[in-house]
Amino acid sequence: MKEFMMIFRMAPMPNFQPAPEQMQESIKQWQDWIGGIAAQGKFGSTNQLGFTGKTLKADGAVTDGPYAEVKEIVGGYIIVKANDIDDALALAKGCPILYMGGHVEVRDIMQINP
């Protein structure tokens, strides 16, 4: 099996303040979706990204925020194991970000041997 990274992207919602019940439901949806992948033995790892950061550009300039010049943010990722990209894409279906207007970018991970 190969490894694939699913990158979760969506447009920022600066004024969105979910109610505690909405947050709990969202957390459950993510846990259920990731749990389903793990139950198939295809889970690698995952993390949510923070909201602060800096970007270093080729000319040495540093800007605040990891997404200062883009219209969408990367909120997190998951590494999955799949036979091919179509298998990985099938695992992406049902991802909670899709129900929030976001999307999932699926990329293969290249193995680099030093």
- Write out pLDDT tens, residues 33-50: 999 999 999 999 998 888
CATH of residue 58: 3.30.70.1060
65 pLDDT above the threshold of 80: no
Query: How many domains does the chain divide into?
Result: 1
pLDDT above 90: residue 109: yes
Say whether pLDDT at 69 is over 70. no
Q: Cα separations (Å) of 78 from 8, 21, 26, 63, 108?
A: 9, 25, 16, 26, 12
Q: Dihedrals φ, ψ of 24, to 5°?
A: -65, -40
83 domain-assigned: yes
- For residue 47, is it within any domain? yes
- The pTM of the full predicted model, rounded to 2 decimals, is 0.82
31: exposed, middle or buried (Cβ count in 10 Å: 0-12, 13-18, 19+)? exposed
Domain assignment present for 103: yes
Asked whether residue 114 is domain-assigned, the answer is: no
Q: Is 66 exposed, middle or buried (0-12, 13-18, 19+ CB in 10 A)?
A: middle
Residue 67: inside a domain: yes
- Is there a domain that residue 113 lies in? no
Domain for residue 87, yes or no?
yes
Domain assignment of residue 83, given as a range: 2-12+20-108
Three-state secondary-structure class, residue 49: coil
**Among all chains, which residue has been given the structure tokens 């990329």?**
107
